[in-house]
Amino acid sequence: MKVHHLNCATLCPYAGRLIGSDVGLFDRGRMICHCLVIESSDGLVLVDTGVGMGAVRDANRHLGRLFTTFMGGGVESETALRRIEALGLSPSDVRHIVVTHLDLDHAGGIPDFPAATVHVHADEHRAAMERRTSNERRRYRTAHWAHGPNWDLLSAGGDRWLGFESVRALPGVEPEVLLVPLHGHTRGHCAVAVRSGDRWLLHCGDAYFWHEEKLIEGARCPIGLAIFQSAMAVDRKARDHNVERIRELVRDHSSDVSVFCAHDTHELAAFD
């Protein structure tokens, strides 16, 4: 079994210094879309998808003009499809996609793997289908599921895992892959836990954005990211509570669990 850590889209927001990039205040910064490809007993499992091929062909439809203006568009060589091919693996072997949530930079690659089952929390799926607020109409792009994916909707209930409740496991897949509810950034946002040898990997999605946020002592976040996280959260109280839970997990289980988020370049580099 292998777990591959990939960057499936480079984002280049303005005011890079405010998001922690070592650039000038008015220069563009750098963020990534940290995805996983797992070689499992049931084919390949993709955790988050980054920006897909659709964004390369039609950025306005798949990302929206606001996103492309401030964050940039898609690069074909960085799509999950091309990254998988570069590993010498076949995209047609992707049997499962597990998404932390359905924001456009996490779900954009879903159409590139039309035969895969897409595992997502039921609350997240409902939010993406209903798109009740202006924010949700911007963050959820209907082009990403226009092909009619095979959804597997996971709801409340399930088991406990290292202090987290309502954890659901993907059936019939080895190694273990768990969906861990961490609502707040979106209505059904989750982390994804993957058993890797004698350790766990915990992909926290957008539960936090900066590596130092997960520290009990000296936790900090660049002001630009802090403002962005607050603005994007549908439930700030729940989001803040989950960051505290992540800090406790890192403090109490650092020997057993590697914790990382979706967009931090430092955390991706640690797996190189």
Q: Which domain holds residue 62?
A: 3-269
All residues at 6 or more sequence positions from 39 whose CB lies less than 8 Å from its CB, including other chains: 1, 2, 3, 4, 89
Q: How many domains does the chain have?
A: 1
Pairing mode of beta strands 117-121, 150-154: parallel
Q: Diameter of the chain by CA atoms? A: 49
Radius of gyration for the alpha carbons in the chain, expressed in angstroms and rounded: 17
All residues at 6 or more sequence positions from 117 whose CB lies less than 8 Å from its CB, including other chains: 95, 96, 97, 149, 150, 151, 152
DSSP of 213-272: GG-SSS----HHHHHHHHHH-S-HHHHHHHHHHHHHHHHHHTTTEEEE-SS-HHHHHTT-
* 202 touches 163 (CB < 8 A): no
* C-beta neighbour count of 98 within 10 angstroms: 27
Rounded-to-integer distance, Cα 204 and Cα 192, Å: 7
Residue 80 in 3-state DSSP? Answer: helix
219-268 pLDDT tens trace: 999 999 999 999 999 999 999 999 999 999 999 999 999 999 999 999 99
Asked if residue 175 has a cis previous peptide bond (ω within 30° of 0), the answer is yes
Residue 106: which H helix or E strand, with range? helix 104-107
Instruction: Give every residue of the chain whose pLDDT is below 70, as ranges.
Output: none
Q: Percentage of residues in the chain with pLDDT exceeding 90?
A: 90
Task: Give me the pLDDT at residue 37, please.
Answer: 98
CATH of the domain at 112: 3.60.15.10
Task: Give me the pLDDT at residue 129, please.
Answer: 98
* 38 touches 45 (CB < 8 A): yes
Nearest C-alpha neighbor of 5 from the set 65, 72, 87 = 87
Residues paired with 84 in a beta bridge: none
